[in-house]
Amino acid sequence: MRGAIPAKALILTANARSDLKAIHEHIADVADRETARAFITKLAVHLERIAATGHAGVPRDRIRPGLRLSVHGRYNIYFRIVGEETVISRILHSARLLTPTAFDEENPQG
């Protein structure tokens, strides 16, 4: 019997941090700041759960090798497993058309 997959450190790239800020601002504009804060809090819990489960998500190698996807509401969370880290690359609305260049400059900003 296999043991549990150990949790990985959660790292957000500069792009992912920028995405979170943009999501918060958008929700605050269309609803209110409390709704935006609540959504971001739930999203942050989802990010922690991704890191805690190790290799969660669906492979998206056609976009970029090693890229995985998890869905939170209407937002797609794109991430990679790198050694002992779960690196969140982008958090994008599901209606957004993707290209591999959307994942350029994936330098983690821990």
In this prediction, residue 68 has a pLDDT band, given cuts at 50, 70 and 90, of very high
Dist. CA 89–CA 17, nearest whole Å: 9
% of the chain exceeding 70 in pLDDT: 87
CATH superfamily, domain 9-95, is: RelE-like (3.30.2310.20)
In this prediction, residue 110 has a pLDDT band, given cuts at 50, 70 and 90, of very low
CB crowding 27-40: b at 16 or more within 10 Å, else e:
bbeeeeeeebeebb
pTM: 0.87
